[in-house]
Amino acid sequence: MYKVFVNDKPLFLTNEISKETDFQLFLLESIDIEQLIIKIFQNKIQKAILYHPDESEMMKTLKAKIPVNKAGGGFVYNKKGEVLFIFRNGKWDLPKGGIEKGEDIEATAMREVEEETGVNQLRITNKLQKTYHIFKRNGKYKLKITHWFEMFSDFEGTPHGQIEEGIEKVAWLNPEQIKEALKNSYENIKLLFEEEKKPIEKMVAPIAYRSGPDSK
């Protein structure tokens, strides 16, 4: 199953149908995806399920119906176990951005973190899940697939937001501050915290010293 967010509303891709649900059901193979997206943006549909019998074909089918943007992002810790956040468009977010030609996705994630926050001395410690959301640019709807990487940084300077990207603030947030920030964040960011099983209460300094991609 995949969870795709449209205007922060959930759109599930699944090969299973639950009888007891308040989600509207559509067939992925035949749905006019743009019309569905428009209705979600217009708040005519709050929650929807796209059904496809073959789980291995679900994402491929969706990608054939909508242009895809590939992005990389960082879930960055410092020595104190704090997490690096950005504040943009009135919400807290994690640094991320689109891949450039000839670039691998890990390099994209590290470059975007450094460009958007000024934080360097980055190293990837773990590969996290992908998140999916649909946005509108130049009059067209696109599916953004973001590849997330857990990172650690020894950076001790002052982070600064990339002005041309509309980043108003960059901050290292401690566990209590993260709880508050997630109340004013995006659903895919909340999902990243939830599904990677990173209870905020356990985000303490020792987590910063994990060095291998297989450590949790």
Across the range 185-207, mean pLDDT stands at: 67
Distance CA 128, CA 13 (A): 20
Domains and CATH numbers, the chain: 2-63 (no CATH), 68-209 (3.90.79.10)
Quote the mean pLDDT of the chain: 89
Confidence of residue 204 (pLDDT cuts 50, 70, 90): very low
Estimate to the nearest angstrom the gap between the alpha carbon of 207 and the chain centroid.
21
pLDDT at residue 203 is higher than 70: no
User: What are the backbone angles phi and psi of residue 58, rounded to the nearest 5°?
Assistant: -60, -55
pLDDT tens sequence across 79-114? 999 999 999 999 999 999 999 999 999 999 999 999
Across the range 126-145, mean pLDDT stands at: 94
Looking at per-residue pLDDT, the higher value among 181 and 209 belongs to 181
Across the range 175-180, mean pLDDT stands at: 94
Pairing of strands 122-137, 9-14: unpaired
pLDDT tens sequence across 17-36? 876 677 889 999 999 999 99
Confidence of residue 197 (pLDDT cuts 50, 70, 90): low
**Residue 157 DSSP symbol:** S
User: What are the backbone angles phi and psi of residue 200, rounded to the nearest 5°?
Assistant: -55, -35
What is the three-class DSSP state of 173? strand
**Residue 33 DSSP symbol:** H
Distance CA 105, CA 149 (A): 10
What is the three-class DSSP state of 199? coil
Confidence of residue 57 (pLDDT cuts 50, 70, 90): very high
**Residue 132 DSSP symbol:** E
200: nearest Cα among 175, 182, 180: 175
Q: For position 193, what pLDDT does the model report?
A: 87
pLDDT tens sequence across 58-77? 999 999 999 999 999 999 99
Q: For position 166, what pLDDT does the model report?
A: 93
